[in-house]
Structures are given as C-alpha cells and as structure tokens.
C-alpha cells in the first residue's frame, strides 16, 4: 500500500490502526480540535472479508485471532476447486492450484494472492480488483471483463479494474489455454500481471541544518530548475507557494488537484516555499525552483501504483530535473515491482532524478518499500536536528539481495512547513503552518538540494546529481544501512567536483574461510583538470558483536588520478574471513587532495554459517512425491513466516539453515493424491541433516456418517506452534471436489507446544444416485458435478456412448433426451457444453482411473462422474444392446454433515473419523428466498466453517444450497465450534457467529427471513470489537450490519454487498458532524460532556433478485458522555427485532389473512429496559401512504396484526420506540415482506 511517508504522533498511530488504511495518515495528531467522522475501512472492520481473486475464486475470512477461519469457494468454472492456504498468524496466502505454474514463472504478482494484504488495502467485500497488465508490446491486449483502461507507456503496461462479477471472465481470457490447464504463460501479448497496489503519503532550523542559506548566499536557490512533487496536490493559494506552480495535474481519484489533505503542501513548501507567511522564516530549501504538481494521492492520502506511475511518466516527460516522492509501500521491496522498475526505466530514459522516501517502518532492518527500493532512486532516511537517526526511519539492506539502501539522510523530525487551507495534517502551529515528522519530510530537503545542485550544473543527469549529493554528505554514526552515505550537505555538494560510486558486497553466508571478493569504486571528475586523490578506508560493525580486523577492507591503490571530465576505477576488496562477527558492516572510502573531498560507502552483510536440511518424500506406492507438493520449514524459535521448499522430480527438497530447532510439515502430492505429513522437531547442529516422509506408512483419511452421503469438500491442514512462538503456522489444502486419495503419515509427538492435523469434511445427501438396469441393478457410484442442473425425482434414461466426445463421435451418436456417456480426457470440459447443446438429458463422465470423479461445471442438465470400472461394465453391456440407467436426482440437499477433527499432540495412526451419532447436533434450517422465484438466485454456496478447539484451527467448506428450502445439518460437537456462511451466487452474504452446539439437541434456525434491516447482532461482540457500536475516552466506533435476520442472530458481515447504496450520517445536538458511505465509521474529537447524538442510515439494495427489505431508513438517537478510563463501552443504541408469523419460504404472506407481528426492543449489549413508547405503522403501497396499526404493548415489545389487502404487492413497516433511558429508534423498511399473488 502506498502512503505518505509521514510519522504520526502516538494518538495518530492508534487511530490509524483503528480506522484502517484508507484513513488520512495524520488524523490523530489534532483529534481533539473538532469532531470528525471518518469512514472505517471495511477491510479492518467487517465481520466477513470476502476477497474475489483474479481467478474468479472467492476467499472468505471470518473471525479474528485464534478463532480466525479462512475459507475457499472455487469459481463455478473451476474443474476441481483445489487451493493451497498458508497461514502464519494473520498472514494469509491462498493459491489456487491452476496459478502455481504462473507464479513460479513470474507471470503473476504474488500480491494477488496475499489475502491479508488485499484486505488491508480494501480490495475485499465487493471492491473492484485493480491490476497492471504488462504486454510484450506497448499495445497491451486486455481480455473481456476489464474495466476502464489507462495506458502506462513506461512499463508497456495498462492499468485497469475488474469488477468481482467479471473476474472469472477476465481470467479465462487471460489464460493462454483453457481454464485449469497447466501452463506458465499468459495469453498472447501479455507478459505479466501485477496488483495495482496502494501507496500512501508516509522547517527553518532544518533548512539551515543542511546548509541551504550558504547556497543562497552564493546565488544558488534552484532558479530555473523544474522540480515535480508527486503527492496529495498543493494549496496554490498559500502565500509561500504563490507563483511557484507552473502546472498542476490530477492523476488520483479525487475531484481536483487541490490539496485537501495537507501532506503535499507541506512537502512542496519544504522545497520551494518562499516563507512569505512567516516573514521569510519558514523558507524552503530551493525557493527559486519552479514547481510541477502531480496529485497522485487522494484527499485521504492514499493512491494506487497506476496513479503514481501516471504521475511519474508525466513529470519525467515534462522537463522536471528532480521528482520528489514522499510516498511508498508498507511492504519491503526487492526493487523489481512496477513502481521501482518505472523509476529505473524513466531515469535511464530521461535523466530525471527521483528522490524518494525510505519509509517509516523502522527500526527493523530490511524495511524499505517501493519505489524507494529502486536502484536509480535517491532514497532518503530521516534524522533529527542533532543528526541522530529517527527511530521510525526504515532501514536497509534492501529486501532480497541485501543491496545498499537507503542512500542519504535529511532532517525529518518536527519539520515546520506550509499548512494547506482547511487541513489538520500533523500538528498545526498556526493557520499557515503545521509540524510533521517522517521520511516524507526528509525527502523534500534532498529534492531541494538536488535542485540547487542542478542549477549549478545544468548539464548533469540523475547519476551525477545522486553521486555528488551522496559523496559529499556528512558521514554519521548510524551506519550506511540506516543513513546511507550520510546527511545531505548542500555547501559540500556545491564545492564537489569529484563523486564516487558505492561498493555493496551483499551477503556472505558461510564459515570463516569465505573467500575475499572485489568490487570497483568509480571516481568521476566533473572539473576541467585532472586530480590526484589520496585514499583511506575504514570498516565498522554496525550490528552484532565482535572486532573488525584492519585488513578486512583493503584498497587496490593508495592514490587515484582522475582525468578531467573522466573517471577512474579503484579495486576494493573485502575479506570476510577477517570480519568474523556475524552482522552488518559499513565503511567509508575517503578521497582527498587538491581541495577535493569525496567519499564512497561500502557495505557487507555477514550471516551465520548454514547447514543443509534434506527431506525425501515418498507416496504410498513408493514413488517420489512431485513438484506440486508443499513443504513448510519453520524455525521453532521465531514467530515470523516460514520458508517454503521446492520439491524436485525425485521427491527431494532441500534448505540451508542456521543451527537451531526446526519443524517440517506439509503435503506430498502426486496427481490427485495427497499425503499430509509432519516432523514436529528437528535439531540442526553443525552437520547436514537428512529426514524423510515415507508415505508407504501413511494411513487413509476417512469419515463415516450415519446416512449415505457424498463428499462436497475436504480440507486437509497441518500446523505447528512451539512454546516459544507467539503464532502458529499451518499449511492447508482445500480439495473441494477433487478426486484421488488422501492419507496422513503418523508422527512423533511435539516436544513442546502443539502439532497435528486439522481435517474438515462437508458431506451431503447424494444429489444423484445412478443405477444401471442390468440383470441386477448396478450402483454406478455417481459423484455429482457442482453447479450442474438438477431435477427432483426419478428418470430412466437410455445410455448413448459418445466415446471421448470428438467431433466425429458426437456427429455419429444421437444424444437427444438420453444419458450421454463420455470418457474423461484432458478436453472433457470443452465437450460437455456440446452435449448439452445436442439435447442430452444428463451427462455421465467416466473417469480414466478406477476411483470417484467429482467435478464442477455450470450446466443446465445433471452431470456426474463414475469410476472407470463402472463405465467399462456399461460399455460392455452396450455391445449387447440398449442399456437404461435410473437416475434419482435431488434438486436440493435434504441433509448435510459437517465434520471437523483436530490434533495437537502429533498425527495419530488412526485417521478414520467416525463420531458417535449421539454427539451430533441437528440444526433444522429454513432458508427463505428474497426472490419470488428462488431459481433466480443461482450458484449458491452454503459454507460450514468448522473450528477445532483441540488444534485451535478451522476452515470453511462449502456445499450446494438453494433458497426457499428446508434441510437438516448435522455437525459434530466434540471439541468443535461451527459458523454458517451463506454466499448467494448473485452477491451479498449472511453469517452467524462461531459457536458450539449441544450434542443430541435439535436447533431451529431461520435465515434470510423477513423482516431484514440494519441492527447490531444479538450475539453481542465485546465493546470495541466486531459489530458493537462503542465509545472510549477518545472516540466512537460504529459498525452496524445493514441487513440482519429478524431476531438479530444472522447478518450481512461485510460493509456493503455489490450494488448496495448506503449513506450514514452522524449528528450531535442536531448538528451534522459528518457522513460515511456505509455505517462503519469512527468519530473522533468529541467533547467529554454528555450530548445528544443521532445516527442516521439510509440503505438501498438494488439487485433484482432481492425483493424484500429493498430500502430502509433508520435513526438511532441516544445520550453519550466520555467514559472514564481507557475501556470501551457499548453505546446505548436501541434496536428493533421482528417476529412475523406465517411467512412462507418465498418470503411472502397470504393476503387478507391475519399475521401476527411482534416488534421487541433491546440495547446494543443485548439488555432490555422498559419502554416509554412504541408504535408500528404499515403501508401496503410501497411506502406512499401509511396508517398506524393497533398495537398491544408491553414494557419491551409491541404486537400488531398485519392483514394485507387483495392486490397489495408487499407490506412496508415504520417502527418507533423509546426506552426509559431516552434512547430512540425510528426505522422504516420498504417492502419488508412480499404478499403472495
């Protein structure tokens, strides 16, 4: 995510963490000045995070902490629905099987499958997926499904957005072969696809600190030099910027190029500010420079890669000598992502110098993000006024190759600069100025210095400017991986005629005998005379402990002569065997003579020696596991993410690790077969270690159910957490409808902590039972294909054998009205639509192996698979004459089984799960249909998310479902909790809280029943978390589901479904404080005294199939004062629950008949207090006219009789209630329930 590199105060950090990444970065710094409403990021607030992957598959994340559950729902076009889930704490990666070769080939950006990062950037819950597609030529071909396209010539790329409903179509066009094919190439003309990730925005004393006044005195103030600022825009009305802006362009999603955030104005004035509003005191570094303004971040301080890329292209091609970029990504970068690559390409093409913030994710090492990670970037760290490194400043070395970054440092702590009108960024010190800290503030100091240097040397290009600034910088004590070459020094840079390149020795891993290595340092002479320089060097251990031998760093010469206008090289040799301590080393090569002083920086990362760990994996038949296997290696003393080992064709995986305690676990694979395994403890010393996972000793994973059932989804997980680790790590495969066999390899017990498997099954009543009517009816062991058609009842169909479904075979056989039998081949999925077109009444796919064959394909007729042996018997029977098959088809499952079993003390020898039927809970579920015709809601999935209290892991598996139905769901209750998640194929969702069920007990649940409306769940979350509006001493946080079941148990967990139109307003004492586009908001800066507040929510659902509760208006009025202490307190909102009797499964009531409606009232914490008043009004014409219904009231409820007149299409409701505490609710629900016609 790109951000302004702005260091917020403690209050701001707390608020930013609370309100999410889309909020302005500096909201908390001035939070007490005035009440302010900020939209909570749905990514951090929703109870459900639904992420639509580029493949069209859906990932759902529910819960938090130890009870977080990750579910995978394959796209309807996915043949097998297999996906891999890797999880370490809240870090989640989900990789569908079909994309693995593309990721290995580098054709897809791994961030497209980084679920926690996608959620953090707001790319969930109905959001479009932004992409950057790189072509093999400048004319990038984009497949169907792409939205508006913006071409980016710097990378031969195009930026686009793909709506959630179009991802499957887009993906099908993006693949070079049919969906599901194993290929490492994308469609013709497409080279790579990146996520269009988000970026966000990250003086008098400081200007003097770097020597700017001395440059001004010498007549150098940047005059004639164009500097581009890519940020949140600028306030051109500010006196300090008057007349300085040559051009301003808006590349963001904001309305204009004006700075409504404050960050860009602060940065711009640090470069070119005149100081007019302060009598010249707060003058910028280069007040004579001219400004190009590219607004690439919106008014919340957030932007995307493509916005920034567009601004970079414009700036570099508009004559800017220097581009200042106080923005970047939170994630460490290796310098190969789109922004970093563009910096390098544009620098090489135009000679423009990009000065970029290092970031504010220090003090940890290897934290520099993009685009500051680019080779050509002049990457800026932050120091304070005493030249001490700022704790927040991001550190090197660069991720991946340990290259030397940052490059230079500048003042970035408590910087006073111009304040944009109407903004509160930082800590305002007056109407015209504000104070802020961050590498954002350090960067414009260096950009201004570069402008001054460019004025002095107009012929210099980026490399000259960068080299001169670095070579002349004041060397500091923090080390090169923290401060680069040192703090920028403008007078020294102006005096500089010689500059030098740096020497990075990267990482040396090994024993003390590591061989010396040599690099070249090049000295450039810009003067018109040659110069001879004396050379000295030093080397310091920055991190770690130990001594440094004086001969560890040696020079190839004691002097160097650099010709006029030329360059000369000097060999620099590092001897790692003389730098024996493990850690980072930095040093300086200083060149002096003839009035010249220049220095180059050297760096080395010396790592502890490693030893080789080898794993050999065998399948149950003794053959080697294949490269599709997943092997996870984790240090048991480190809570960070694990390493993933690649398995070769010989079944061998290797890793080089430091001595210590490790674990290895994962899944061996061959074709559709899986062996889940793990070695909980591996002690690694000074010698190589070899271990094995012998699948010949593995045991089959099986589940038994009391009634005949068909597997709909199977999830295999294995994980380990040691006593030293704060978070566990797990490796999971969602097998969906995949065939093959599954085993688990028994293991030793862990020496400490937990280790074991977690297995989830979803099974259901068989959708299709197929029996061949031979001499004795033969059960064909049918496995239905998901998303294929259904009919209720029995049919006898004649079998038509079409072989492999070639064109010739299809032409020779009449399948109309028959059961088409086709052999499984690689192209079978392309054959099935032709059989449907030819009029086949059903399709049977014969497997190529003698095992079950599930699958998935959208079709209008039943499609099912059978084992090879059954198909062979049918083929033999057909040689003797006609054969008929009796199909018993169940359109909707009458029962479902959910099973979860977890282990924490090793993988057990017995892998058959056969729970006692007395331990099952029977959940009788009614799922009402919001559409008059339930078939209008297609491709629906019913997720049962099982959580084991033993393994403390869970997963979600999905089964087919339909609206307007009843069914029984049986779940095991021993050491288990369950959560239901319904995902209609047309959008929206509904979820319950994770809960245990009582064994042997039948529970009734009603889902999507009228009356649905906004309310807080009755299963109350703790204040300050989840869906409970709360307040603490600093702010209110409001999170209200817009659609919830009548009793408040089940609710829409995300902020908005696709197509919803919401508006949320907040009032205090009848004064509007602010609005948000949905009821997920934070209200800061509230007065401590008691006030009267009102929340208003207008919600409208526009999907054609959603025909009840189509529009709601709710107003909650209540009193609130600042609570004492830091604890969260539930806000006293009053909610209405609805109990309407006699509703049919199609969400309708009978006309003329009396239907009892009871409206009860409760507070957000579930408590009830006596009512002062309650009323119910009814409309039978969609809310055009209303009449008050006669109500029987109690202290907590009002009951009325609804009697819809003949011809009415629906009943709308308007409810009012007030309790003794003065909390009120007024709620209008248009089309609350349909009236049967």
Catalytic residues, which ones?
A: 231, 263, 440
386 burial level (CB within 10 Å; 0-12, 13-18, 19+): exposed
Q: Is the dihedral of CA 522, 523, 527, 531 positive or negative?
A: negative
CA proximity to 17, closest of 40, 1, 48, 34: 40
CA nearest to 332, candidates 376, 379, 280: 379
In angstroms, what CA-CA distances link 14 with 8, 259, 696? 9, 24, 53
**Those residues with Cβ within 8 angstroms of residue 763's Cβ, 6 or more apart along the chain or in another chain:** 703, 705, 709, 710, 711, 712, 896, 897, 899
3-state helix, strand, coil in the chain (%, to 5): 15, 40, 45
| Helix 305-316 × helix 338-350 angle, to 10° | 0
Tokens of 823: 């052999």
CA pair distance 1149, 664, nearest whole angstrom: 59
Instruction: Concatenate the DSSP letters of all residues of 149-176 into one string.
Output: -EEEGGGTEEEEEE-GGGHHHHHHHHBS
Q: What is the rounded radius of gyration, in angstroms, for the C-alpha atoms of the chain? A: 33
**Alpha-carbon distance values, 183 to 101, 361, 1087 (Å):** 6, 38, 61
Element at 206 (helix H, strand E): helix 204-209
Determine the Cα–Cα distance for residues 1230 and 1174; give it in Å rounded to an integer.
Answer: 19
Q: Which residues contact 132 (CB under 8 A, 6 or more apart)?
A: 152, 155, 157, 158, 159, 193, 194, 195, 196, 305, 306, 309, 338
- Across 375-459, the runs of DSSP E, i.e. the strands, are 378-383, 408-411, 415-418, 427-428, 433-436
User: Do 320 and 293 contact (CB within 8 A), yes or no?
Assistant: no
Helix (H) or strand (E) holding 829: helix 828-837
Question: What residue has token string 């005379």?
Answer: 529
Q: Answer whether 871's CB lies under 8 Å from 823's CB.
A: yes
Query: Per DSSP, which regions of 903-952 are E strands?
Result: 912-913, 920-927, 941-948
The span from the first CA to the last CA of the chain, in angstroms, equals: 52
Place of tokens 């409206």: 1159
What number of helices (H) and strands (E) belong to the chain?
Answer: 17, 81
Question: Cβ(288)–Cβ(271) under 8 Å?
Answer: no
> Cα separation of 285 and 262, whole Å?
19
Sheet holding 689-694, edge to edge: 652-657, 611-618, 689-694
Q: Angle 462-471/439-456 helices, nearest 10 degrees?
A: 110
**Cβ-contact 195, 112 below 8 angstroms:** yes
Q: In what order do the strands lie in the sheet with 699-700?
A: 643-645, 630-635, 660-670, 673-684, 742-744, 699-700
DSSP code per residue over 315-331: HHTTT-SEEEE-EEESS
d(CA 783, CA 802): 20
Strand partners of residue 699: 744
Sheet with 1134-1140, strands from edge to edge, namely 1134-1140, 1155-1163, 1197-1202, 1192-1193
């Amino acid at each position: 995510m790109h951000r302004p590199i702005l260091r917020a105060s403690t209050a701001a950090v707390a608020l930013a963490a609370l309100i999410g990444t889309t909020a302005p970065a500096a909201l908390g710094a001035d939070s007490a000045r005035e009440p302010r409403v900020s939209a909570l990021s749905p990514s951090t607030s929703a109870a459900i995070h639904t992420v639509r992957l580029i493949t069209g598959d859906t990932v759902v994340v529910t819960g938090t902490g130890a009870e977080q559950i990750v579910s995978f729902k394959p796209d309807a076009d996915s043949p097998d629905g297999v996906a891999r889930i890797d999880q370490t704490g809240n870090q989640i990666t989900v990789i569908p099987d079909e994309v693995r070769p593309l990721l290995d080939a580098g054709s897809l950006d791994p961030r497209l499958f980084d679920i926690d990062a996608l959620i953090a950037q707001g790319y969930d819950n109905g959001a479009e997926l932004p992409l950057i597609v790189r072509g093999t030529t400048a004319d990038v071909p984009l497949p169907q499904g792409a939205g508006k396209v913006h071409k980016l010539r710097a990378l031969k790329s195009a930026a686009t957005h793909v709506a959630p409903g179009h991802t499957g179509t887009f993906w099908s066009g993006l693949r070079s072969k049919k969906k599901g094919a194993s290929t490492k190439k994308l469609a013709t003309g497409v080279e790579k696809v990146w996520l269009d990730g988000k970026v966000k925005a990250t003086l008098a004393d400081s200007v003097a600190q770097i020597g700017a006044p001395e440059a001004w005195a010498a007549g150098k103030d940047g005059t004639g030099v164009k500097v581009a600022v890519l940020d949140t825009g600028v306030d051109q009305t500010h006196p300090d910027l008057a007349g300085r802006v040559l051009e301003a362009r808006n590349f963001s999603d904001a309305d204009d190029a004006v700075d409504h955030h404050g960050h860009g104005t602060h940065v711009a004035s640090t470069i070119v500010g005149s100081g007019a509003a302060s009598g010249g005191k707060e003058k910028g570094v280069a007040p004579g420079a001219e400004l190009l303004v590219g607004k690439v971040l919106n008014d919340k301080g957030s932007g995307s890669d493509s916005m920034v890329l567009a601004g970079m292209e414009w700036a570099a091609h508009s004559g800017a000598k220097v581009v200042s970029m106080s923005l970047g990504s939170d994630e460490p970068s290796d310098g190969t992502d789109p922004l970093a690559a563009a910096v390098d390409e544009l620098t090489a093409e135009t000679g423009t110098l990009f000065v970029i913030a290092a970031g504010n994710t220090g003090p940890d090492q290897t934290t520099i993000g993009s685009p500051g990670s680019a080779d050509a970037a002049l990457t800026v760290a932050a120091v304070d006024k005493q030249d001490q490194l700022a704790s927040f400043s991001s550190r090197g070395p660069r991720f991946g190759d340990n290259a030397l970054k940052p490059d230079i440092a500048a003042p970035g702590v408590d910087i006073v600069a111009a304040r944009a009108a109407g903004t509160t960024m930082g800590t305002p010190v007056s109407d015209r100025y504000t104070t802020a800290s961050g590498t954002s503030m350090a960067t414009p100091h260096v950009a201004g210095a570069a402008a001054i240097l460019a004025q002095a040397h107009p012929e210099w290009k980026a490399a000259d400017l960068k080299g001169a600034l670095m070579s002349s910088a004041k060397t500091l004590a923090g080390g090169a991986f923290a401060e680069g070459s040192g703090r920028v020094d403008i007078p020294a840079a102006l005096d500089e005629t010689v500059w030098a390149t740096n020497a990075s020795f990267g990482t040396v891993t090994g024993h003390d005998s590591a061989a010396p290595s040599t690099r070249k340092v090049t000295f450039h002479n810009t003067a018109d005379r040659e110069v001879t320089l004396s050379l000295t060097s030093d080397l310091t251990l920055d991190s770690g402990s130990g001594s440094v031998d004086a001969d560890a760093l040696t020079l190839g010469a004691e002097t160097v002569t650099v010709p006029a206008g030329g360059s000369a090289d000097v060999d620099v040799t590092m001897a790692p065997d003389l730098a024996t301590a493990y850690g980072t080393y930095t040093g300086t090569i200083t060149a002096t003579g003839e009035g010249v002083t220049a220095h180059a920086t050297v760096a080395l990362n010396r790592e502890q020696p490693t030893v080789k760990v080898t794993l050999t994996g065998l399948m149950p038949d003794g053959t080697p596991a294949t490269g599709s296997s997943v092997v996870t290696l984790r240090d048991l003393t480190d809570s960070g993410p694990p390493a993933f080992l690649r398995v070769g064709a010989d079944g061998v995986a290797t890793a080089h690790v430091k001595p210590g305690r490790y674990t290895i676990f994962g899944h061996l694979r061959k074709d559709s077969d899986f062996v889940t395994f793990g070695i909980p403890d591996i002690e690694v010393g000074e010698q190589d270690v070899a271990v094995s996972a012998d699948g010949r000793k593995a045991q089959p994973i099986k589940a038994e159910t009391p009634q005949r059932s068909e597997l709909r989804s199977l999830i295999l997980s294995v994980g380990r957490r040691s006593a030293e680790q704060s978070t566990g790590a797990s490796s999971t495969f969602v097998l969906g409808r995949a065939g093959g066999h599954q085993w688990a390899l028994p293991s030793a017990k862990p020496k400490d902590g937990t280790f074991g498997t977690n297995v989830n099954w979803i099974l259901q009543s068989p959708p299709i039972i197929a029996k061949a009517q031979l001499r004795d009816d033969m059960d064909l062991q049918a496995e239905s294909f998901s998303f294929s058609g259904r009919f209720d009842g029995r049919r006898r169909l004649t079998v038509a054998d079409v072989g492999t479904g070639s064109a010739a075979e299809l032409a020779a056989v009449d399948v109309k009205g028959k059961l088409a039998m086709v052999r499984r081949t690689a192209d079978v999925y392309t054959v099935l639509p032709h059989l449907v077109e030819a009029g086949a009444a059903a399709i049977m796919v014969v497997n190529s192996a003698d095992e079950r064959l599930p699958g998935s394909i959208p079709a209008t007729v039943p499609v099912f698979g059978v084992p090879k042996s059954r198909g062979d018997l049918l083929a033999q029977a057909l040689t003797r004459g006609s054969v008929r098959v009796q199909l018993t088809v169940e359109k909707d499952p009458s029962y479902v089984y959910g099973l979860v079993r977890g282990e924490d003390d090793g993988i057990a020898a017995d892998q058959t799960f056969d729970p006692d039927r007395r331990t099952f809970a029977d959940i009788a579920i009614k799922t009402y249909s919001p559409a008059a015709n339930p078939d209008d809601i297609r491709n629906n999935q019913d997720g049962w998310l099982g959580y084991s209290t033993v393994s403390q892991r869970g997963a979600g598996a999905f089964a087919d479902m339909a609206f307007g139905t009843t069914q029984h769901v049986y779940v095991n209750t021993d050491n288990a909790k369950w959560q239901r998640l319904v995902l209609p194929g047309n959008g929206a969702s509904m979820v319950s809280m994770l809960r245990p069920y009582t064994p042997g007990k039948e529970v009734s649940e009603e889902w999507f029943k009228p009356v649905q409306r906004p309310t807080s769940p009755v299963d109350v979350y703790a204040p300050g978390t989840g869906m409970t509006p709360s307040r603490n001493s600093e702010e209110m946080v409001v999170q209200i589901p817009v659609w919830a079941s009548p009793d408040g148990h089940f609710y829409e967990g995300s902020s908005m479904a696709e197509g919803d139109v919401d508006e949320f307003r907040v009032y205090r004492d009848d004064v509007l404080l602010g609005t948000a586009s949905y009821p997920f908001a934070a209200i800061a800066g509230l007065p401590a005294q008691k006030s009267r507040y009102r929340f208003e929510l207008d919600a409208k659902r526009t999907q054609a199939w959603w025909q009840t509760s189509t529009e709601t208006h709710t107003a909650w009025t209540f009193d609130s004062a600042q609570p004492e202490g830091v604890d969260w307190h539930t806000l006293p909102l009053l909610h209405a629950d609805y109990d309407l009797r006699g509703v049919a499964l199609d969400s309708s009531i009978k006309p003329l008949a009396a239907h009892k409606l009871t409206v009860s009232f409760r507070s957000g914490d579930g408590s009830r207090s006596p009512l002062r008043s309650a009323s119910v009004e009814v409309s039978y014409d969609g809310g055009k006219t209303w009449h008050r219904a006669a109500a029987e009231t109690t202290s907590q409820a009002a009951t009325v009789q609804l009697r819809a007149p003949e011809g009415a299409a629906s009943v709308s409701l308007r409810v009012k209630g007030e309790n003794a505490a003065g909390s009120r609710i007024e709620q209008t629900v248009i089309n609350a329930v349909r009236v049967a016609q």
